[in-house]
Amino acid sequence: MDQFATNRIFLETEAALCKKHPERVHQLELVRSIASLKAKARCYQLPTDVDRLAREAGIIAIRIVSLTTRGRLLREPGGYVVELDSKLSLNQRRFVIAHEISHLLVEKDLMLTTFGRPQRSKTRHYFVEKLCDFGAREILLPINSLRNEIAGLSPSLETVCKLSEEAHCSFELTAERICESPSIWDGCRFISWTTHKGRLLAVRTWPERGVDPEQIILKDEKNSVVMRALNTASVAKDWQELSYAGREQETVYLEAVASEEGYVLALRLFKQPPRKVVRPLK
């Protein structure tokens, strides 16, 4: 997959998004900085070589250590050092490295004045961390390339799995990337489940608006599509009854697959059409 694919539809879509969401302007600036860094590092194909990109950004070492956080960026004589928690999976390590590279692109001038993390207000901290998460996703799976890759394809978890494998990223990251562009797979919803005390618990949904994941309840959980996916190494597909915080149930077509990180990603495709009631002729 080409790292730098783009087209007229992408430019029109981004222009519309910037009008609705002013923060998108900062995201586009970061996208341009990432593209420039990739060009300098000669990262032209997926999976992105995050180690080479880190060196180009001024990171001189990546250490695997025991941390209470997923990772951190330190300034040392000669450059910057990224420390990663030893419990992270390979995909998680790649994401954290990409996140810290984004910090250097967003805050490098500020970081040159301190040996620790720059001091920020809570509001500024949330904004910067969210922006750097976006940057990490763009580094690992560029949205322009994603649009071109799945143009014309019907929504399916097989496609999500294939893209994730090619980009060396998690299923969740690919799902979030798809939902960050309104023109891709409109009407679909991704749901991420994990296990808690032997039960399935929905923890995130994409798009994130309008649904509290903790209120999503599976009917007949032990025999559900999500549980079948958790117990197998393949994509499970079937009709599934869901309810939202005890409200009226709906039957949806669900695809689900388990990840190496231990969660299950489900793709909610469409509702079952209501059955027509046929009244006997008098």
Tens digits of residue pLDDT in 160-219:
999 999 999 999 999 999 988 766 787 788 999 998 888 899 999 998 777 788 889 898
Q: Give this prediction's pTM.
A: 0.83
Q: Compute the distance between CA of residue 273 and CA of residue 264 in angstroms, rounded to an integer.
A: 26
* Token couple for 247: 């409200």
Three-state DSSP state, 150? helix
Model pLDDT, residue 262: 82
pLDDT at 1: 64
Phi-psi region of 122 (alpha: psi -120 to 50; beta: other; left: phi over 0): alpha
Q: Do the beta carbons of residue 221 and residue 200 sit within 8 Å?
A: yes
Per the structure block, which two tokens stand in for 197?
Answer: 């005390």
In this prediction, the residues of the chain whose per-residue pLDDT falls under 50 are 7-9, 11, 18, 112, 276-278
Rg from Cα positions in the chain: 21
- The structure tokens 């222009």 sit at 15
State how far the Cα of 251 lies from the Cα of 271, in Å rounded to an integer: 6
